[in-house]
Amino acid sequence: MLTFLILVAIIATAALLMYPPLANAPLWRATITPLASIIGSGFLVLGPILTASYGAYAPLVMASLCLVAYLFGSAIRRNITELYAGLPRAPWAERLDIAASWVLAFAYIISVSYYLNLFGAFGVSLTPLNDAYHARLLTSAVFMLILVVGWTRGFSALERMEQFSVGLKLAIIAGLLVGLIGYFLRQEAAHQLALTPPSLTGWAPLMVAFGLIVTVQGFETSRYLGETYSAATRIESMRMAQGFSTAIYLIYIVFLTFSFAPGDMSLNETAIIDMMAIVAPILPALLVAAALSAQFSAAVADTSGSGGLMTELTRGRVSPRQAYAILVTIGLCLTWAANIFEIISYASRAFALYYALQAAIAAIGAGRQRHRALGFSALSALGVAIALFGQSVE
């Protein structure tokens, strides 16, 4: 019965996403890009990490991550308003904006490594070659594929996958949530709900939470849709994306946390597959399909974004093809030198520094609005703290 409900949820969600009045609505089309980015790869690894690390407090940590992301989003939304309203900007704000673009280009490099290492892990997860070595081999092969395609033909053909992968991912997530709710109700009826204490103590819970900010990252993509959408549409699309993703994440974490005790899982990048196999036999294969599609399309998008930023910032001295080669070289080094949880931490630090710079720009722009300026300054300091002290899950 639960499998049937999961399939109904997937089909119904897919049909809704393809419904022309919704699919063609400008605001929804602007929202789907940041929404898909926020609940992309992080969705696959965040549940097991929070459940194993924070126990019954996992929903509170999830809510805190979403709140911090929303506050950083408010700084970017303010900057969108200022930039596209044609308001004069202080010289320091212009310099910080250039620095932020460089940091974002570097953050994209790390995020591509994050996406493709998840791709490798999920790609071998249901095969006899399910180990770190073969996962890294698969990741390396995909890195080389991206380099060859980007170097010889560009990414236009591969980017056509994005809309399909977004719809597939959101539909499967809807099915996963239905499955989790059903499993939760089954556990509750059997009086077997989990209520476990956190495994982290001292400063570790805060430092690990700092290292997870990348799992709610992605809302900033609204900032760079200026050629297609107005500033007002992009601002509203970011708010909607963060609202929807917060609701989805909280439903996911609440039902996962209280349905599974940390001892019921092994903490690795594909732990969600083993957990969902308990919920319904159909979910592991669906999750792998969603993971492969989502990670590949996200990696292509960020590779293209990083290459474009490097070319723009160097005024053409670094071509997109050269930028792709730099990205792949760094990505291969990260793949073979670090595990996925370390890469998540590195990516979180890079994006936190980008958000800190955006908040600093917002503080300068706030000018004489003292309370706003102080608030954005505090937010910038938080971003710097996350960049300095974020830790990976052990």
Mean pLDDT score, 212-229: 77
More confident residue, 168 or 284: 284
Task: Give the total number of structural domains in the chain.
Answer: 1
Sign of the CA dihedral running 350, 98, 37, 294: negative
Residue 238 tokens read as 């970011």
Q: For position 29, what pLDDT does the model report? A: 80
The whole-angstrom separation of Cα 24 and Cα 2 is: 32
Q: For position 394, what pLDDT does the model report? A: 58
Res. 158: pLDDT tops 70: no
Which spans in 190-230 are helix H? 204-210
Is 394 a domain residue? no
CB 251 within 8 A of CB 177: yes
Report the candidate in 108, 111, 134 with the shortest Cα–Cα distance to residue 121. 134
More confident residue, 133 or 211: 133
Mean pLDDT score, 9-38: 84
Domain that holds residue 208: 2-389
Q: For position 214, what pLDDT does the model report? A: 81
Q: 50-54, 135-139, 193-197, 352-356: which range is least confident on average?
A: 193-197
Neighbours of 4 (CB within 10 A): 10
Res. 226: pLDDT tops 70: no
- DSSP E strands in the chain: the ranges are none
Residue 213 tokens read as 């900010």
Is 144 a domain residue? yes
Neighbours of 392 (CB within 10 A): 19
Q: For position 316, what pLDDT does the model report? A: 83
Q: Which helix (H) or strand (E) holds 190?
A: none
Is 166 a domain residue? yes
Residue type at 330 in one-letter notation: I
Give the SS3 label for residue 47: helix
Burial class (CB in 10 A: 0-12, 13-18, 19+), 58: buried
Mean pLDDT score, 83-100: 78
Average pLDDT value for the chain: 84
Res. 344: pLDDT tops 60: yes
Q: Which residue has the tokens 């022309």?
A: 20
Mean pLDDT score, 44-67: 89
Q: For position 43, what pLDDT does the model report? A: 77
Q: pLDDT tier at 225 (50, 70, 90 boundaries)?
A: low
Report the candidate in 371, 343, 361, 388 with the shortest Cα–Cα distance to residue 45. 343
Mean pLDDT score, 7-12: 92
Q: CATH code at 257?
A: 1.20.1740.10
The whole-angstrom separation of Cα 321 and Cα 362 is: 33
Mean pLDDT score, 48-55: 87
Q: For position 332, what pLDDT does the model report? A: 93
User: How many residues can be counted in the chain?
Assistant: 394
The whole-angstrom separation of Cα 183 and Cα 169 is: 21
Longest pairwise C-alpha distance within the chain: 65
**At 108, phi and psi to the nearest 5?**
-60, -40
Res. 279: pLDDT tops 70: yes
The whole-angstrom separation of Cα 2 and Cα 19 is: 26
Report the candidate in 164, 169, 272, 275 with the shortest Cα–Cα distance to residue 218. 169
Q: Which residue has the tokens 């209520």?
A: 195
Residue type at 168 in one-letter notation: L
Res. 41: pLDDT tops 70: no
Q: pLDDT tier at 20 (50, 70, 90 boundaries)?
A: confident
Q: pLDDT tier at 10 (50, 70, 90 boundaries)?
A: very high
Percent of the chain with pLDDT over 70: 93
The whole-angstrom separation of Cα 329 and Cα 220 is: 25
More confident residue, 57 or 366: 57
CB 235 within 8 A of CB 80: yes
CB 292 within 8 A of CB 284: no
Res. 330: pLDDT tops 80: yes
Q: pLDDT tier at 333 (50, 70, 90 boundaries)?
A: very high
* Region label for 305, one of left (φ > 0), alpha (ψ between -120 and 50) or beta (otherwise): alpha
Q: 96-100, 159-163, 278-282, 361-365: which range is least confident on average?
A: 159-163
Res. 160: pLDDT tops 60: no
CB 116 within 8 A of CB 295: yes
The whole-angstrom separation of Cα 66 and Cα 72 is: 10
Q: Which residue has the tokens 């830790």?
A: 391
Mean pLDDT score, 325-330: 90
Report the candidate in 164, 177, 127 with the shortest Cα–Cα distance to residue 285. 127
Res. 137: pLDDT tops 90: yes
Percent of the chain with pLDDT over 90: 25
Is 296 a domain residue? yes
CB 354 within 8 A of CB 180: no
CB 338 within 8 A of CB 359: no
* Neighbouring C-alpha atoms within 13 Å toward the C-beta of 391: 11
Q: For position 164, what pLDDT does the model report? A: 66
CB 56 within 8 A of CB 196: yes
The whole-angstrom separation of Cα 343 and Cα 360 is: 26
